[in-house]
A and B are shown apart, each in its own frame.
Chain A
């Protein structure tokens, strides 16, 4: 069984204390009008093709790339707990397919504890990714290797 807390199953977690009430943070994350203002990297535009914000609903955002291609992000919401939690599948093409995004909101007075994770949730999924030639659960080898490279031993 995959333990969702096993860090090796997660590519990334970002936690922040946002200085705004949870209602504002939730709105900024979930409303398409707001979302289109922050989703795309600076200088790029995002088009919201679909944003069906409910469990089982799909979302699809497209960003035109400078070279004429498109960067497509899409997924299906699997869990929505208002002002607390959003879980959605996500495909980013071309880049990473089949990950799960989990966003946690926790009210703390006028602040909001915000935690964003990109998760590879199951062993089965990991095996599938392996077959595709991707790798997740970046091992400790990288940390050591990074040190090696920066020390000029290469």
Chain B
């Protein structure tokens, strides 16, 4: 297996378990145990996903005594939302252009056919 070491935020959200972790820690900082409680998979497996999220820069992982606290980095996650918004914006703009064009076309047609009803 090739080790794809290029971590980025989109890789972070590419996995359902990681998305669920993001969902959990976006509410409040949580320790590893509290996160693992939400999953059927083993704690080391959850830990592995958290490590990836850390590498992707989406969460910070801090040791506090015996606890491992995970905190979301909102600005990083926002980059994903921004990406989606840009995509959405493109369609909004396109449909707006379409509406404008329909209005122009309608005006033209109405003229052509006289006062059509």
Spell out A's residues near B (CB within 8 Å): 11-12, 14, 16, 18-21, 24-25, 27-29, 34, 37-39, 41-42, 95-96, 116, 118, 130-131, 133-135, 138-142, 144-146, 148-149, 153-154
Partner of A118, one of B23, B78, B91: B91
Is the Cβ of A16 less than 8 Å from the Cβ of B95? yes
Q: Are A141 and B94 in contact (CB under 8 A)?
A: no
A/B interface sample: 14 pairs, CB < 8 A: A14-B92, A16-B95, A18-B103, A19-B106, A24-B102, A28-B102, A34-B101, A38-B100, A135-B10, A138-B80, A142-B78, A144-B26, A148-B26, A149-B78
Closest 7 CB pairs of A and B: A20-B106, A38-B101, A154-B74, A38-B97, A135-B13, A142-B81, A148-B74
Q: DSSP class of A's interface residues: helix, strand, loop or mixed?
A: mixed
Residues of B within 8 A of A37 (CB): 101
- Which B-chain residue is minimally distant from A144 (CB atoms)? B26
Contact segment of B14-22, B33-41, B43-51, B61-69: B14-22
In chain A, what residue has the closest Cβ to B98?
A: A38
User: Given A16-B95, A38-B97, do A154 and B73 touch, yes or no (CB 8 Å)?
Assistant: yes
B15 close to A138 (CB less than 8 A): no
Chain A residues with CB under 8 A of B109:
24
A-contact 0/1 string along B75-117, CB 8 Å cutoff:
1011011001001101111110111111101100100000000
